[in-house]
Amino acid sequence: MANDQCRGPFAVALGFHGAPMFELSIPAEIFGLPRPEFGADWYRFALASVDGQPIRTGQGWTISVDGDLSLLAEADIIVIPGWPTGDSTVPAPIAEACRAAHARGVRLASICSGAFLLAELGLLDGRRATTHWRYASLLARRYPRVAVAADILYADCGDVLTSAGSAAGIDLLLHMVRRDFGVARANAVAKGLVLPAQREGDQRQYDDSMRAPPPSDRVAALMTQILSRPAEDWPVSRLASEAGMSLRTVARAFTTRAGCGPGTYVLKARIARARELLETTNLPIERIAELSGFGSATSLQQNFRRQLGCSPTAYRRNFAPGGVQTGSPATASTILPM
């Protein structure tokens, strides 16, 4: 066990065959890394498996653990890494241990698809939760009693917490450090990881699911045209005329096929084009606004922030090649201990 000389909350990560190695390493890094600068008032950490035997991760690596599920009975925090989304069955020993821990007030925190385990146990019923944007619609369909929020990095319901994709587990666990020990310690941990203590924006900026549909009918053909030429004017009257449908019928068809009305679909197509240009070009924001159909930089900025939770400039900084600037050797030497 890591940090066994400390007296803070006892955090246990649940290991199982096929568990993602990265998601197991996140709680080990946040909760298990020795931090003598904090003294004895820090987390204790352990990795548990069902039977206490080594596990083979999803990457094919075999790693040893600190004990079996009895560790969950001692835990103050249980971290659940990505759980298989194709099989909703939770082995009885894991289900019993998690339910018993929850009943005695333990905080259960899931990373990425780990939310599926919590949902299957009924621990997310009536609660706000999130998961990776790829799985959000599946989680909502399979567990309709869960209030799935596909756009956030993490959700904190007090005793049950969920995070979006794998790296969002870092955001969630840093949030837990802030909750347990305050902003200063959370910032110190984040600085050690060379990460922002709180990321700008939310999960929507990572969703690249806007794709042209298969050319199966007139509405699909229109959707493809909009995606390829988003800067054009696409009033519902034009869509109805080109599809040979009434205004009401074409609006209903878009809602059925795209999950949103024509106006929203056009907006999403323009956002998608703006994202592409921000990622792949050095064009000024004004020109990107023009090419993506927003007309002005102000309109692009307002809609971009409303849809993705961050500004176009921040998005480019995060995703454009060369967006992260490295310091010169002289600059680096000023921040390294000599």
What string of pLDDT tens digits covers the 338 residues of the chain? 788 888 899 999 999 999 999 999 999 999 999 898 998 999 999 999 999 999 999 999 999 999 999 999 999 999 999 999 987 789 999 999 999 999 999 999 999 999 999 999 999 999 999 999 889 989 999 999 999 988 788 999 999 999 998 889 999 999 999 999 988 898 899 888 877 666 655 554 445 555 666 666 788 888 888 988 999 999 999 999 988 999 999 998 888 877 788 999 899 899 989 988 988 888 999 999 999 999 999 999 999 988 887 889 988 887 766 544 333 333 222 223 32
pLDDT at 336: 31
For the full predicted model, state whether its pTM sits above 0.85. Answer: no
Distances from the Cα of 97 to the Cα of 82, 83, 89, 163, 334, angstroms: 18, 16, 15, 21, 50
Cβ–Cβ < 8 Å for 19, 58: yes
pLDDT at 329: 33
Cβ–Cβ < 8 Å for 165, 206: yes
In whole angstroms, give the CA distance from residue 119 to residue 125: 7
CB count, 10 Å around CB of 17? 13
In whole angstroms, give the CA distance from residue 172 to residue 70: 25
Cβ–Cβ < 8 Å for 261, 254: yes
Beta-strand pair 55-56/62-63: antiparallel
Residue-range domains of the chain with CATH: 10-204 (3.40.50.880), 218-319 (1.10.10.60)
Distances from the Cα of 100 to the Cα of 9, 58, 75, 145, angstroms: 18, 27, 11, 21
